[in-house]
Structure 1
Amino acid sequence: MAVTIAACPHSSPETIRASAAAGWPLLGPACAAALLSGCAGSLLLPGLPAWPWLLVLALVGVVLAWQRDWRRVLGVMSLGAAYAGWMAALVLAAQWPAARNGERVWISGQIVDLPVQEARRTRFLFEVDATPAMPLQLRGQRLRLAWYQDRGGPRPALQAGSRWQLHVRLRAPQGLRNPGGSDSERFALMNRLVATGSVQSPVEARRLAAPAGVVAWRETMSARIAAAVPSPAARYVQALALGDTRGLDTTDWARLRAAGLTHLIAISGFHVGLVAGFGALLVAALWWLWPGLCRWLPRPLAAGVGAVIGAFGYAALTGMAVPTLRTAVMITVLVLARWLRRRLRLVDALALACITLLVLDPLALLGAGFWLSFAGVAWLLWCLPEGDSPGLGGMLRGFLAAQAVASLGLLPLCVMLFGQASLLGPLANLAAVPWWSLVVVPLSLLGVLADTLHAGWGVLFWRLAAGSFELLWPALTWLADSPLALVWLPQARAYAVPLALLGAFWLLLPRGLPGRWLGLLLWLPLLLPPRELPRQGEVELLVVDVGQGLSVLVRTAGHTLLYDMGPALEDGFDAGEQAVVPALHALGVRRLDLAIISHADNDHAGGRDAVHTAFPLPQVLAPDGSPLPQTRPCLAGQSWQWDGVTFRILHPTRWFPYLGNESACVVQIQARSGRALLAGDIGGFVERRLLATMPQALRADVVLVPHHGSAGSSTPEFVAATGARLALVSSGADNRFRHPRPEVVRRWCQAGAEVLDTARSGALRVWLGAQGLAVREQRSAQARIWDAVRRRGQAAGLCYAPEFMRP
Structure 2
Amino acid sequence: MSNAARTPPSIPTIDRVPCVATVADAAGGVFLATTPARSRPLGLPVASGLLAGVSLALWLPWLAPLWLLLAAAVVGAPAWWQAWRGRWMGAYLVGFALAGLHATHALSVQLPVDWEKRDVEVRGRLVELPQHQPRRTAFAFRVDRANDQPEPLRGRLLRLSWYDERDGTGTGRDEVQAGQRWEMTVRLRAPRGLRNPGGFDSEKHAFAGRVSASGYVREPGKARLEQAGTGINAWRGAMSQRIADSVAPESARFLSAFALGDTRGLDDEDWHVLRATGLSHLVAISGMHVGIVAGFFALAMAGVWWVFPGLGRRVPRPIAAAMGGLVGAILYAAVAGFALPTVRTVLMVAVVAGMRIQRRRSTTLEVLALAMIAVLVVDPLSALTAGFWLSFFGVAWLVWCLPEVGRRPPHDLVSAQGVATIGLLPLTAVLFDQASLAGPLANLVAVPWWTLVVVPLSLVGTALELLHAGWGLWAWDAAAWCFQLSWPLFDTMAASDMALWWLRESRWYALPLALAGAFWLLLPRGLPGRPLALLLWLPLLWPARDLPAPGEVDIQVLDVGQGSSVLVRTAAHNLLYDMGPSTPDGFDSGERVVIPALRALGVERLDRAVVSHADNDHSGGFEAVRRRTGIDSANAPEDSGIADTLPCVAGEQWQWDGVSFRFMHPPPYFPYLGNDASCVLRITGKHGSALLLGDVGKVIERDLVRRSRLDAESAIKAEVVLVSHHGAANASDPALVEATGAQLAIMSSGHGNRFGHPRTEVTRRWQDAGAATPDTAQDGAIRVRMGEAGISVETRRAARPRLWDAGRRDNKPLVDAAPELSYRPD
TM bracket, shorter-chain basis? over 0.9
Distance change in 2, residues 1:455/1:561 (3 Å)? same
Matches within 5 A, 1:343-422: 343-386=361-404, 388-389=406-407, 394-422=408-436
**Does 2:597 match 1:583?**
yes
Aligned structure 1 segments of 4 or more residues deviating by more than 4 angstroms = 288-292, 796-803
Q: CA deviation at 1:52?
A: 1.7
Distance, in Å, in 1 between the alignment partners of 2:349 and 2:531 is: 36
674, 678, 695: which one aligns with 1:664: 678
- Matched-pair contact (CA < 8 Å) for 1:419–1:490: yes
Q: Deviations over 1:397-451 (max 9, x none)?
A: 1111001101111111111111111111111111111111111011111111111
**Does 2:330 match 1:315?**
no
User: What code does the residue aligned with 2:110 have?
Assistant: Q
Q: In structure 2, what is the equivalent of residue 32 of structure 1?
A: 47
User: What code does the residue aligned with 2:734 have?
Assistant: P
- Matched-pair contact (CA < 8 Å) for 1:151–1:201: no
Distance, in Å, in 1 between the alignment partners of 2:500 and 2:99 is: 35
Q: In structure 1, what is the equivalent of residue 135 of structure 2?
A: 120
Matches within 5 A, 1:35-114: 35-114=50-129
505, 514, 532: which one aligns with 2:546: 532
Q: In structure 1, what is the equivalent of residue 740 of structure 2?
A: 722
Distance change in 2, residues 1:803/1:350 (3 Å)? closer
Determine helix, strand or coil for the equivalent of 2:501.
strand
Distance, in Å, in 2 between the alignment partners of 1:511 and 1:370 is: 30
Q: CA deviation at 1:293?
A: 3.4
Q: CA deviation at 1:358?
A: 0.6
Q: CA deviation at 1:301?
A: 1.9
- Matched-pair contact (CA < 8 Å) for 2:794–2:821: no
**Does 2:637 match 1:628?**
no
Determine helix, strand or coil for the equivalent of 1:654.
coil
Q: In structure 2, what is the equivalent of residue 265 of structure 1?
A: 283
Distance change in 2, residues 1:347/1:803 (3 Å)? closer
User: What code does the residue aligned with 2:812 have?
Assistant: A
Q: CA deviation at 1:231?
A: 4.0
Distance change in 2, residues 1:291/1:453 (3 Å)? farther
Structure 2's unaligned 5+ residue stretches are 1-36
Matches within 5 A, 1:510-549: 510-549=524-563
Distance change in 2, residues 1:734/1:319 (3 Å)? same
Distance, in Å, in 2 between the alignment partners of 1:803 and 1:268 is: 42
289, 292, 302: which one aligns with 1:274: 292
Q: Deviations over 1:761-783 (max 9, x none)?
A: 00000000011010110011111
Distance, in Å, in 1 between the alignment partners of 2:744 and 2:817 is: 10
Q: CA deviation at 1:324?
A: 2.3
**Does 2:235 match 1:217?**
yes
- Matched-pair contact (CA < 8 Å) for 1:754–1:799: no
With 589-598 and 155-164 compared, the bigger mean Cα shift is at: 155-164
Distance change in 2, residues 1:472/1:799 (3 Å)? closer
Q: CA deviation at 1:288?
A: 4.7
Distance, in Å, in 2 between the alignment partners of 1:572 and 1:669 is: 34
**Does 2:250 match 1:232?**
yes
Q: CA deviation at 1:329?
A: 2.6
Distance, in Å, in 2 between the alignment partners of 1:105 and 1:323 is: 34
Q: In structure 1, what is the equivalent of residue 691 of structure 2?
A: 677
Q: Deviations over 1:103-147 (max 9, x none)?
A: 111111111101110110100001111110111111111100000
- Matched-pair contact (CA < 8 Å) for 1:24–1:30: no
Q: In structure 1, what is the equivalent of residue 345 of structure 2?
A: 327
With 58-67 and 706-715 compared, the bigger mean Cα shift is at: 58-67
Q: Percent identity?
A: 53
- Matched-pair contact (CA < 8 Å) for 1:754–1:801: no
Q: In structure 2, what is the equivalent of residue 597 of structure 1?
A: 611
Matches within 5 A, 1:103-252: 103-150=118-165, 153-154=169-170, 155-156=172-173, 157-252=175-270
- Matched-pair contact (CA < 8 Å) for 2:394–2:423: yes
User: What code does the residue aligned with 1:135 have?
Assistant: P
Distance, in Å, in 2 between the alignment partners of 1:294 and 1:385 is: 32
**Does 2:493 match 1:479?**
yes
Q: In structure 2, what is the equivalent of residue 804 of structure 1?
A: 821
User: What code does the residue aligned with 1:424 have?
Assistant: A
Distance, in Å, in 1 between the alignment partners of 2:765 and 2:262 is: 52
Q: In structure 1, what is the equivalent of residue 518 of structure 2?
A: 504
Q: CA deviation at 1:150?
A: 2.4
Q: CA deviation at 1:804?
A: 3.0
789, 794, 807: which one aligns with 2:811: 794
Q: In structure 2, what is the equivalent of residue 769 of structure 1?
A: 787
With 224-233 and 644-653 compared, the bigger mean Cα shift is at: 224-233
Q: Deviations over 1:62-91 (max 9, x none)?
A: 343244334211121111111101111111
Q: Deviations over 1:523-549 (max 9, x none)?
A: 000011111100010000000100000
Distance change in 2, residues 1:64/1:294 (3 Å)? closer
Distance, in Å, in 2 between the alignment partners of 1:795 and 1:365 is: 30
Distance change in 2, residues 1:464/1:356 (3 Å)? same
With 413-422 and 789-798 compared, the bigger mean Cα shift is at: 789-798
Distance, in Å, in 2 between the alignment partners of 1:367 and 1:799 is: 29
Q: CA deviation at 1:286?
A: 3.9
Distance, in Å, in 1 between the alignment partners of 2:299 and 2:469 is: 23
Distance change in 2, residues 1:274/1:589 (3 Å)? same
Q: In structure 2, what is the equivalent of residue 648 of structure 1?
A: 662
Determine helix, strand or coil for the equivalent of 2:606.
coil
Determine helix, strand or coil for the equivalent of 1:756.
coil
User: What code does the residue aligned with 1:521 have?
Assistant: L
Distance, in Å, in 1 between the alignment partners of 2:261 and 2:320 is: 29
Determine helix, strand or coil for the equivalent of 1:698.
coil
Distance, in Å, in 2 between the alignment partners of 1:160 and 1:656 is: 54
- Matched-pair contact (CA < 8 Å) for 1:24–1:31: no
User: What code does the residue aligned with 2:707 have?
Assistant: T
TM-score between the two structures when normalised by the length of structure 2: 0.92
Distance, in Å, in 1 between the alignment partners of 2:820 and 2:471 is: 72
Q: CA deviation at 1:290?
A: 4.8
Distance, in Å, in 2 between the alignment partners of 1:512 and 1:289 is: 51
**Does 2:771 match 1:753?**
yes
Distance, in Å, in 2 between the alignment partners of 1:86 and 1:551 is: 39
**Does 2:504 match 1:490?**
yes
Determine helix, strand or coil for the equivalent of 1:95.
coil
Which structure's relative contact order is higher, taking Cα pairs within 8 Å and 6+ residues apart?
A: 2
Distance change in 2, residues 1:797/1:345 (3 Å)? closer
Determine helix, strand or coil for the equivalent of 1:226.
helix
Determine helix, strand or coil for the equivalent of 2:152.
helix
Distance change in 2, residues 1:341/1:798 (3 Å)? closer
Q: In structure 2, what is the equivalent of residue 19 of structure 1?
A: none
TM-score between the two structures when normalised by the length of structure 1: 0.94
Q: CA deviation at 1:289?
A: 5.2
With 452-461 and 573-582 compared, the bigger mean Cα shift is at: 452-461
Distance, in Å, in 1 between the alignment partners of 2:204 and 2:819 is: 28
Distance, in Å, in 2 between the alignment partners of 1:802 and 1:484 is: 37
- Matched-pair contact (CA < 8 Å) for 1:65–1:74: yes
